[in-house]
Amino acid sequence: MNIKDSIDITVIGLGFVGLTAALGFAEKGYSVKAYDSDIYKTRELSKGELPFHEPGLSTMLNKHLNENLVLCDSLEESLSDAKLIFICVGTPYLEGAGLDLSMLLNVVKDICRFSSKDAYPSIIVKSTIPPGTMRTKIKPVVEDCGLRVGQNIGLAYNPEFLREGNAWDDFMHPDRIIIGELDRVTSDSLVKLYESFTVPYAQVSAETAEMLKFSSNALLATMISFANEQALIAEHIGQVNIPELFRLLHMDKRWSGSPAGMINYVYPGCGFGGYCLPKDTLALKNAANQHGVEAKVLNAVMEVNLDISEHTVRKVIRSLKHRDEQIGILGLAFKPGSDDVRYSPAVGIIEALLDEGCTNLSAYDPMAMRNFEEHYGYPLKMANSLDEIVAGSDICVIVTAWPEFQVLTDHASDIRIIDARYMLENKEASVLVN
């Protein structure tokens, strides 16, 4: 039997995301039932007319309407025989209260009310929700209805990354498929569903998938605000050709390639250092102030850089059994492949640990130990090798992401490691599968 014949799909909520998903699955050959509580929207769609503008959807609607796509008059009707139920209802932002989940939670309750305990339907949320919602809000609602996730009903979070004006192409040719898993049956069913899309997929925790949706949009918003603040500063300085400034900025080769070099800057750690980034950011912030502009983005950049260093120290302190334990600092250079220790994150971390009364400190760096000793007079014992510092330490802190530290992945269960660069492989984490 064709896998497409065995998967009956229901899409609830026929807005921008829901209608695109319903038509996309129909285009892939699946049988799709769809429902929206707005009877006027349903009436327009049943006539082959879109209630909003989105290139390509009108053609697809008229192609699949009453064929692979059936519009239902009631939620109960749409759920008959459904195996995979996609919820795409709105979660509007309420000032001071966050996202309004009331419509989503009500739909979940109704699905549970109409679902048979013997059918094992899977509820897949596509609506944007705060991290933790699937496990702490939606799962309890389901189980309050007498169902048990993983026994007679499934749950997953499956975010969309659609751009208005490009929704159809983004759905049919996504960068990757993200499956936020709460039960394996549903997760594996989604893998089968998306097989024909032939793109990488990742089966991750629901919280990872929820956070990814937020992080993706927050990154874009941050870049826009950064660019706008730069233009604001440039206008106040005067004689800066702003369009030319950004055209030249975009010529940086780190924007291009696959993967682009800029991904190295969009990855967490324990802060940035070196000579250029701190100095130039502070200097531009000062220049903005001199011209009457409060550089809020740049202020936040420097504040977060300090905050993340302090956060790393707190993680170390919490992991200590007592202050006299031997702490090994792995990495002194501001980045791997360099012996430059100016403004290195290791400086602030070591100073803070000493202030906390942690005096048994040792360090190892493949290239920067001599420079560090010449620049700073901290009471550090320098180790001759990675093996030596690991053997002699009660806890190790990875401060610089030297490739040779990657071997510690195999020893993560044997020794206490604070991986401040997130470089060690998490063996429990799912990775993108092609």
Residues forming the active site: 276
What CA–CA distance (Å, rounded) separates 169 from 56?
Answer: 9
Q: How many CB atoms lie within 10 A of CB 431?
A: 10
* Residue 273 annotated as binding site: yes
146 marked among binding-site residues: no
Residue 293, C-beta contacts closer than 8 angstroms, at least 6 positions apart: 232, 233, 236
Residue type, position 370, single letter = R
Residues 103, 89 contacting (CB under 8 angstroms): yes
Q: Is 422 annotated as a binding residue?
A: no
The answer to whether 226 is annotated as binding is no
Torsion of CA 51, 57, 58, 63, to 10 degrees: -130
128 is in an annotated binding site: yes
Query: 3-state SS of the chain: helix, strand, coil percent to 5?
Result: 45, 15, 40
- Helices within 291-339 (DSSP H only): 296-319
Residue 372 assigned ligand-binding role: no
**Which stretches of 98-240 are assigned E, i.e. beta strand?**
98-99, 122-125, 154-157, 177-181, 201-205
Residue 279, annotated as binding a ligand:
yes
The answer to the question of whether 161 is labelled as a binding residue is: yes
427 is in an annotated binding site: no
42 is in an annotated binding site: no
Cβ-in-10-Å burial (0-12, 13-18, 19+) of 45 comes to buried
Q: Is 32 annotated as a binding residue?
A: no
Asked whether residue 334 is marked as a ligand-binding residue, the answer is: no
Residues contacting residue 262 through CB under 8 Å, at least 6 positions apart: 254, 255
Residue 117 among known ligand-binding residues: no
Q: Exposed/middle/buried for 115, CB within 10 Å: 0-12, 13-18, 19+?
A: buried
To the question of whether residue 272 is assigned a binding role by annotation, the answer is no
Specify whether the CB–CB gap between 171 and 162 falls below 8 A. yes
Neighbouring CB atoms inside 10 A of 72's CB total 17
Q: Is 164 annotated as a binding residue?
A: yes
Q: According to the annotation, is 41 in a ligand binding site?
A: yes
Dist CA 41 CA 323 (whole Å)? 65
DSSP helix/strand/coil, 434: coil
Known binding residue 36? Answer is yes
Annotated binding site for NAD(+): 36, 41, 91, 128, 164, 279, 342
Annotated binding site for substrate: 161-164, 213, 265-269, 273, 335
Annotated binding site: 36, 41, 91, 128, 161-164, 213, 265-269, 273, 279, 335, 342
